[in-house]
């Protein structure tokens, strides 16, 4: 954490997006700081508490959105994810492809969605509504290790993380189930 903070201070980096623009190789910096926060939840060890406090401080200063506590395991979703989505996948890119194909096949586009959480890589704010047009290019999902969708918002079209959105006024159960499956994966803290 000391080296990360020193580099940011020395180079006047003030956000995760700025850091990633300059240094990202495989994982976004907000994701590895989140992972560090997850790994340092054990409050019995003084050193871990110090590391966790520094990581939380980075999140606060860089405008990050802290991950929620992991949700309870859902056996039905776990089985669907294991048997339909990540079955026969052996690395992160195969799992990304599994998720991309599953979501692209099950979600009926376009649909109206509400923003359920903010993200440092998206201009959308919690509570806003948008029109979801389709899945973003798979290459964008691969490069960012996340599922992105194309949206239309304020007369502009661009991609945002699917985890930000929840369908509204939709009767298509497959679409809702697929999006809830993705939210479950993210909220359980699973990684590719």
Looking at residue 144, its pLDDT comes to 82
pLDDT 10s digits, 60-97:
666 555 444 567 889 999 999 999 999 998 888 899 99
The whole-angstrom distance between residue 46's C-alpha and the CA centroid of its chain comes to 30
Tell me how far CA of residue 62 lies from CA of 23, 59, 108, 138, in angstroms: 16, 5, 35, 28
Greatest mean pLDDT range, 34-38, 43-47, 148-152, 153-157: 148-152
> Is-above-0.75 flag for pTM?
no
What is the CATH number assigned to the segment(s) 75-187? 2.30.30.530
pLDDT 10s digits, 9-41:
787 777 777 777 777 666 677 776 766 666 666
The neighbour count for residue 179, using CB atoms within 10 Å, is 24
pLDDT for residue 154 is more than 70: yes
Query: Encoding tokens for residue 21?
Result: 């623009």
Do residues 147 and 129 lie in contact, with contact meaning Cβ atoms separated by under 8 Å?
Answer: no
Query: Encoding tokens for residue 19?
Result: 């850091």
Annotated domain spans of the chain: 2-61, 75-187
Is residue 189 very low, low, confident or very high in pLDDT (cuts 50, 70, 90)? confident
Is residue 120 very low, low, confident or very high in pLDDT (cuts 50, 70, 90)? confident
Do residues 114 and 182 lie in contact, with contact meaning Cβ atoms separated by under 8 Å?
Answer: no
Tell me how far CA of residue 177 lies from CA of 87, 116, 173, in angstroms: 18, 16, 6
Looking at residue 41, its pLDDT comes to 64
74: exposed, middle or buried (C-beta count within 10 Å: 0-12, 13-18, 19+)? middle
């Amino acid at each position: 954490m000391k080296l990360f903070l020193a580099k940011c201070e020395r180079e006047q980096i003030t956000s995760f997006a700025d850091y990633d623009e300059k240094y990202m190789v495989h994982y976004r910096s907000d994701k590895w700081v989140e992972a560090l926060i997850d790994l340092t939840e054990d409050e019995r060890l003084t050193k871990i508490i110090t590391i966790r406090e520094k990581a939380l401080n980075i999140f606060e200063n860089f405008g990050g959105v802290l991950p929620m506590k992991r949700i309870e395991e859902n056996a039905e979703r776990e089985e669907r994810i294991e048997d339909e989505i990540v079955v026969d996948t052996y690395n992160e890119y195969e799992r990304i492809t599994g998720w991309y194909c599953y979501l692209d096949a099950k979600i009926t586009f376009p649909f109206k969605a509400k923003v359920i959480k903010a993200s440092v890589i998206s201009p959308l704010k919690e509570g806003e509504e948008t029109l979801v047009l389709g899945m973003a290019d798979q290459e964008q999902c691969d490069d960012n290790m996340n599922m992105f969708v194309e949206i239309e918002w304020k007369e502009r079209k661009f991609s945002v993380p699917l985890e930000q959105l929840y369908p509204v006024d939709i009767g298509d159960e497959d679409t809702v189930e697929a999006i809830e499956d993705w939210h479950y994966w993210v909220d359980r803290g699973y990684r590719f």
